[in-house]
């Protein structure tokens, strides 16, 4: 039978255990000291942030397309090439640091929507998505509205130009 000095409290202080198990617990605790997040370095590429921001911006009602007229035309041709993938980073530029990021977006809005409301919603959605998914602080989201998508232009773009 163990005497009183053979017993020790656990680190949690909840119950007593024989002293023979205490060193094992202390050793396990020493290995686990500190925040696991501080045990290495994580880097996030600009392209990752650009994809997240591009998807978040496209999710906003009133955003018709991303990028300038030239980028959209070039992207439309590339999208029609077999095996070509649709670029979610079109119209998005990110500068990523160790803990912060800054974004530049170029969008096209639908005709008839409030541009200020769409831009505000895009900014909020992009900031929330990037910060939630990456842990980076978004210091700024600059948005350039490069065009307005008219209703008759939508029909023209849907019809295939190459036959």
pLDDT of 27 reads 52
Please give the angle made by the CA atoms of 113, 114 and 119, to the nearest 5 degrees: 110
Asked if 142 and 104 touch (Cβ cutoff 8 Å), the reply is yes
DSSP class of 140: E
pLDDT of 30 reads 57
Burial of 91 (0-12, 13-18, 19+ CB in 10 A): buried
Q: In angstroms, rounded to a whole number, what is the distance separating the alpha carbons of residues 99 and 138? A: 9
pLDDT (tens, 9 = 90+) of the chain, 163 residues, equals 555 544 444 444 554 555 555 555 555 455 667 777 678 888 999 999 999 999 999 999 999 999 975 544 545 544 555 555 558 999 999 999 999 999 999 999 999 999 999 999 999 999 999 999 999 999 999 999 999 999 886 555 544 545 4
pLDDT of 18 reads 53
pLDDT of 163 reads 47
pLDDT of 157 reads 52
DSSP class of 65: E
Asked if 79 and 86 touch (Cβ cutoff 8 Å), the reply is yes
Identify the CA nearest to 93 among candidates 46, 45, 146: 46
DSSP class of 136: -
């Amino acid at each position: 039978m163990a005497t009183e000095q053979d017993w020790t409290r656990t680190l949690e202080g909840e119950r007593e255990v024989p002293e023979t198990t205490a060193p094992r617990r202390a050793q396990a605790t020493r290995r686990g000291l500190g925040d696991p997040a501080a045990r290495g370095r994580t880097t996030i590429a600009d392209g990752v942030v650009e994809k997240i921001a591009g998807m978040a911006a496209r999710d906003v009602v009133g955003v018709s397309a991303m990028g300038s007229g030239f980028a959209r035309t070039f992207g439309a041709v590339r999208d029609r090439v077999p095996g070509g993938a649709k670029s979610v980073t079109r119209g998005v530029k990110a500068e990523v640091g160790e803990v912060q990021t800054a974004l530049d977006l170029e969008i096209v809005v639908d005709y008839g929507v409030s541009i200020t409301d769409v831009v505000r919603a895009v900014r909020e959605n992009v900031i929330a998505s990037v910060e939630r998914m990456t842990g980076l602080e978004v210091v700024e989201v600059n948005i350039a509205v490069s065009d307005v998508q008219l209703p008759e232009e939508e029909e023209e773009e849907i019809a295939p130009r190459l036959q």
